[in-house]
Amino acid sequence: MPPEKIYEDLSLVRRRANTVFWVIAGLIFLALSYYWKIQVVDHKKFSDLAEANRTRQRALAAPRGLIRDRNGEILADNRASFKVSLIRENVKDLEASLVAVGRLLEIDVETLRRRVEQYKDLQQFEPIVIKDGLSSVDVAPIESRRLEFPELVVDAEPQRFYPKGALAAHVLGYLQERTPEEIRAEPDRAVRAGEMVGKTGVERQYDDILRGEDGKIIEVVDSLGRVRAEKARQNPVQGGDVVLTLDRRLQAMAEEALEGREGVVVALDPQSGDILALASFPTFDPNRFITRFTPTEWLQLTNDPLSPLENRAIRGLYAPGSIFKLVMSLGGLGFGYVTPETSVYCRGSIEIYGAVRHCWFAPGHGSMNLADAIKNSCNIYFYTLGRRMGIDMIAMAAGRLGLGKKTGVDLAGEKEGLVPSSEWKTRTLKMPWYPGETISVAIGQGQLQVTPLQIAALTALVAKRGERKRPHLFLSAPAGAKSGPADDDGAGAAAAEPPFKPAAFENVIAGMWRSVNDGGTGKGAFVEGMDICGKTGSTQLVSRESAERLSRAGREIKTHSWFSGFAPRDNPRIVVTVLVEYGGGGGATAAPVARRIFELFREIQGK
């Protein structure tokens, strides 16, 4: 063999071996890096996953704080109940599970399906509440079939309860489940699915105080989800109590007086602004909202033509009728258009701006000074005053007295109402103001819109001779509670000085006293020894011509009925405002309702 053939050329083999070596070394490095990542970098993640396979965390709902009236009576309480939740992680066939669960819990499958779809973005292991408000008897069949339904979890939780039923429902408000959108809107706060929060009334206004802090419990479970041990527990902290200015006795009387009618009763203390009663009728039972509505039930309630969910006291907009004559009187005196002795002769009608205007008392009242005009609610006097003042001065007087703006009450959703002016009409309707429209506004008709609470606040302002107090429901709560809504830019702020001189208020009060105590239109509110001052009003819903035409056709035309007054005349302690929709004359309908409130207040004060 030739010498050059003795040694084989192994360079190619060496190169290939070297390549294989580095490939294997790279693979080993990647494997070691991956194991290092799992064991070191992602240690907590996989540890938590492993722990999740043997533990389950449950939220412990915090009991809401109690709501009490000013005398300590409980208006909103809590009671023990159970809820059933569905954990999708434990479901093999969701559709089959929904059918079986629906049959067990007597829930429509479509309702269950919508419920699960609503929370589809939650983690699979997070429970979805599908039924609550259950008793121990109700949950016994579920617990007995735990092996058959591992996806169901039964928890005890405190449930809101209103022991007085519908009493003060519009003040207290109601709870509803926090929506997924609301949950996502609070990423910095641990919010559990199915949590109930205040949606209206005091429950909403003071939800941060009433809600408390949820606790949690970590349990060790087996492969079937059965609890084997408790690993850790953090107890919930109950929310703080809120004490309201309401007096349960006055509130109950106000609602009883409105039974079967649509309307509002407001009673407040003019010295402090404390709301003693705030009744809106028709009403509702807030206990209905604790267990979740079906879509059909919710639509039936919201589409009710009587609007039982609407708080007419702060959201109902009405023409004030002759109640507005208090504003006209103060404006006329304050701006110098009349004096207490200014006399106007009432013949029952008057021609103004080419149109005949009528007084409600067809024969006419004769010669009327200011106090007489308030006592008898004489339209002719205030038609004449309205012509003298003009719409812009009327609007200025109403604005000074708090109309056309929120009172600042600590309830969400309050409306501002409307005081028209020439500038308003030009800006909103692109039309000029006509003098004839002023005459309607002068007796509380036309485009004027007020809420009953605004009228109560106006009456309190008159009773205090121009000193303003913001109406409020908050009496006391734990530190940190708000005393009013965040958007309180209404008339609630204390005025630096009275809107008119005290003498103007005294002259108006003299007429209000005569209205109740000297045979005036407010005599239906008279209570012996209470020295009540008041003013009636009737809101005309159709024109006089239309009313006469319908009357000739045999159809009864009723107006909204108003009364607003205070007692006693000096150092007043209570304001009562009553609105009865379609109640007819204020003296015949609203004033007797107010009398019942005044009588009960005197009885309470006498104890």
- pLDDT class for 133, splitting at 50, 70, 90? confident
- pLDDT class for 397, splitting at 50, 70, 90? very high
Residue 473 has pLDDT above 60, yes or no: yes
| Single residue among 225, 244, 263 that ends a domain in this structure | 244
How much of the chain exceeds pLDDT 90, in percent?
Answer: 56
Provide the domain limits for residue 158: 56-244
Q: Of residues 543 and 181, which shows the higher confidence score?
A: 181
Q: Which residues contact 42 (CB under 8 A, 6 or more apart)?
A: none
Residue 42 has pLDDT above 80, yes or no: no
Question: Cα(165)–Cα(168) distance, rounded to whole angstroms?
Answer: 9
Residue 250 one-letter amino acid: L
Residue 126 has pLDDT above 90, yes or no: no
- Residue 275 and residue 223 share a domain: no
- pLDDT class for 531, splitting at 50, 70, 90? very high
Long-range contacts of 540-545, Cβ-Cβ distance < 8 Å, separation of 24 or more? 540/319, 540/321, 540/445, 544/358
**Phi-psi domain of 161 (left: phi exceeds 0; alpha: psi -120 through 50; beta: other):** beta
Is residue 291 assigned to a domain?
Answer: no
Question: Cα(515)–Cα(536) distance, rounded to whole angstroms?
Answer: 8
- Residue 356 and residue 491 share a domain: yes
Closest CA to 326 of 583, 489, 499: 499
- Residue 138 and residue 95 share a domain: yes
Q: At what angle do helices 435-442 and 379-389 cross, to 10 degrees?
A: 130
Whether 476 is catalytic: no
**In whole angstroms, how far apart are CA 252 and each of 147, 241, 247, 279?**
50, 22, 9, 9
Q: Of residues 554 and 248, which shows the higher confidence score?
A: 248
Secondary element (H or E) of residue 539: strand 533-539
Question: Cα(78)–Cα(99) distance, rounded to whole angstroms?
Answer: 32
Is residue 395 assigned to a domain?
Answer: yes
* CA angle (303, 304, 310) in 5-degree steps: 95
Rounded mean pLDDT, 269-277: 97
The enclosing domain of 321 has a CATH number of 3.40.710.10
Q: At what angle do helices 94-105 and 136-144 cross, to 10 degrees?
A: 140
Q: Which residues contact 514 (CB under 8 A, 6 or more apart)?
A: 371, 372, 374, 375, 520
Question: Cα(200)–Cα(412) distance, rounded to whole angstroms?
Answer: 7
Is residue 21 assigned to a domain?
Answer: no
| Single residue among 191, 221, 244 that ends a domain in this structure | 244
What pLDDT score was predicted for residue 300? 81
- Residue 279 and residue 228 share a domain: no
Rounded mean pLDDT, 465-473: 95
In the DSSP assignment, the letter for residue 39 is: I
Q: Is the peptide bond before 282 cis (omega within 30 degrees of 0)?
A: yes
Strand 533-539 versus strand 366-368 pairing type: unpaired
Is residue 400 assigned to a domain?
Answer: yes
Render the burial of 67-100: b for 16+ CB within 10 Å, e for the rest. Answer: bbbbeeebbbbbeebbbbbbbbebbeeeeebbeb
- Residue 589 and residue 565 share a domain: yes
159-196: pLDDT as tens digits: 999 999 999 999 999 998 877 666 666 655 556 667 78
| Single residue among 244, 271, 292 that ends a domain in this structure | 244
3-state secondary structure 184-252: HCCCCCCCCCCCEEECCHHHHHCHHHHCCECEEEEEEECCCCCEEEEEEEECCECCCCEEECCCHHHHH
Mean pLDDT, the chain, rounded, equals 87
59-111: pLDDT as tens digits: 788 899 999 999 999 999 999 888 888 888 888 888 888 888 888 888 888 88
Secondary element (H or E) of residue 476: strand 474-476
Is residue 66 assigned to a domain?
Answer: yes
- Residue 201 and residue 109 share a domain: yes
Rounded mean pLDDT, 35-63: 74
Strand 349-352 versus strand 55-60 pairing type: unpaired
Question: Cα(343)–Cα(347) distance, rounded to whole angstroms?
Answer: 13
Question: Cα(317)–Cα(224) distance, rounded to whole angstroms?
Answer: 59
Is residue 481 assigned to a domain?
Answer: no
Question: Cα(579)–Cα(536) distance, rounded to whole angstroms?
Answer: 10
- Catalytic residue, candidates 97, 280, 322, 329: 322
- Residue 269 and residue 206 share a domain: no
Pair of tokens at residue 397 = 């007087």
- Residue 542 and residue 410 share a domain: yes
Number of other CB atoms surrounding residue 564 within 10 Å: 32
**In whole angstroms, how far apart are CA 194 and each of 99, 178, 230?**
21, 6, 23
- pLDDT class for 466, splitting at 50, 70, 90? very high
- Residue 269 and residue 210 share a domain: no
Kindly compute the dihedral angle of the four CA atoms of residues 312, 200, 244, 265, in this order, to the nearest 10 degrees: 10
Domain total of the chain: 2
Pair of tokens at residue 354 = 């080419």
Is residue 303 assigned to a domain?
Answer: no
The enclosing domain of 69 has a CATH number of 3.90.1310.10
Question: Cα(465)–Cα(555) distance, rounded to whole angstroms?
Answer: 43
R_g of the chain computed on alpha carbons: 35
What pLDDT score was predicted for residue 585? 82
Strand partners, 220: 55, 229
In a 10 Å sphere around its CB, with 0-12 CB exposed, 13-18 middle and 19+ buried, how is residue 29 labelled? exposed
In the DSSP assignment, the letter for residue 332 is: H
Question: Cα(154)–Cα(152) distance, rounded to whole angstroms?
Answer: 7
- Residue 183 and residue 111 share a domain: yes
Is residue 32 assigned to a domain?
Answer: no
Rounded mean pLDDT, 513-534: 96
- Residue 430 and residue 370 share a domain: yes
- Residue 496 and residue 545 share a domain: yes
570-579: pLDDT as tens digits: 999 999 999 9
Question: Cα(223)–Cα(81) distance, rounded to whole angstroms?
Answer: 27
3-state secondary structure 109-158: HHHHHHHHHHCCCCCCCCCEEEEEEECHHHHHHHHHCCCCCCCEEEEEEE
